[in-house]
Amino acid sequence: MDKLYIVMPAYNEEANIEAVVSQWHPLVEKIGSDSRLVVMDDGSKDHTYEKLKDLQKKFPQLVGVTKENEGHGATVLRAYHYAIDHGADYVFQTDSDGQTLPEEFWPLWENRQRGGLLIGQRKGREDGISRVFVTRVLRLVLFAVFRVWVKDANTPFRLMKASELEQVLKKIPEGFNLSNVIMTVIYEKENKVTYYPITFRPRQGGVNSINLRKISRIGWQAVKDFRRIRKKL
């Protein structure tokens, strides 16, 4: 039986975490007793981790992990390594803000043996026009730097075979800020990406810690990082 690890980064998600865990935990239960839902707390300043510890009493396949704050990209990388180190066969990543729907996971899981990156493409997005604009700009930047056309590079809805993911991670510097973006580029360059249309709702609670000013700052740094890493791909 394939062992699935669903991994989620979390930062100040006290308002969302119980609902999100209750929605996603049934998936790992259905897939098998060795599968896990791993929520990696990125040094939250609220009670996210305390709530995770309480939720573990109710949800036996939930694993809560906490660490110092590093940012979303670095936390995602740590979560991937955690899953691989604990023997996952497949790794699925989504976020802990309730924007994605668990029921849309199953088409990816049914096609998992095709390998590569199985990723959601956000259709009819409800997270605001500014976020859609950022995605479109990112698509153009990636094409200019890497000469690959990526439909939706940063979607937090992706399934990967652990053995393939392990090789991809070797190409990504530790702590890389836009780790999911560069991961999608790597899979695209190898023609190993399959897109699935998914719903993308507004954040279900709490406050988004990334505003447009932060996005702009991250964007300028990302261009420099992309150029640096391009030579290694």
For residues 48 and 134, is the Cβ–Cβ distance under 8 A?
no
Model confidence, pTM: 0.91
Mean pLDDT of all residues in 101-124: 95
- Residue 211 pLDDT > 60: no
Confidence of residue 22 (pLDDT cuts 50, 70, 90): very high
Contacts of 126 (CB under 8 A, 6+ apart): 200, 201, 202
More confident position, 154 or 88: 88
More confident position, 198 or 206: 198
Mean pLDDT of all residues in 127-144: 81
pLDDT tens digits, one per residue of 51-81? 999 999 999 999 999 999 999 999 999 999 9
* % of the chain beyond a pLDDT of 70: 91
pLDDT tens digits, one per residue of 148-195? 999 999 999 999 999 999 999 999 988 888 899 999 999 999 999 999
Q: What is the pLDDT of residue 214?
A: 59
Confidence of residue 220 (pLDDT cuts 50, 70, 90): low
* % of the chain beyond a pLDDT of 90: 72
Q: What is the pLDDT of residue 150?
A: 93
Confidence of residue 129 (pLDDT cuts 50, 70, 90): confident
Q: What is the pLDDT of residue 222?
A: 73
Confidence of residue 90 (pLDDT cuts 50, 70, 90): very high
Q: Residue 154, Cβ neighbours under 10 Å: how many?
A: 21
d(CA 129, CA 126): 8
Q: What average pLDDT is seen over the chain?
A: 90
pLDDT tens digits, one per residue of 25-55? 999 999 999 999 999 999 999 999 999 999 9
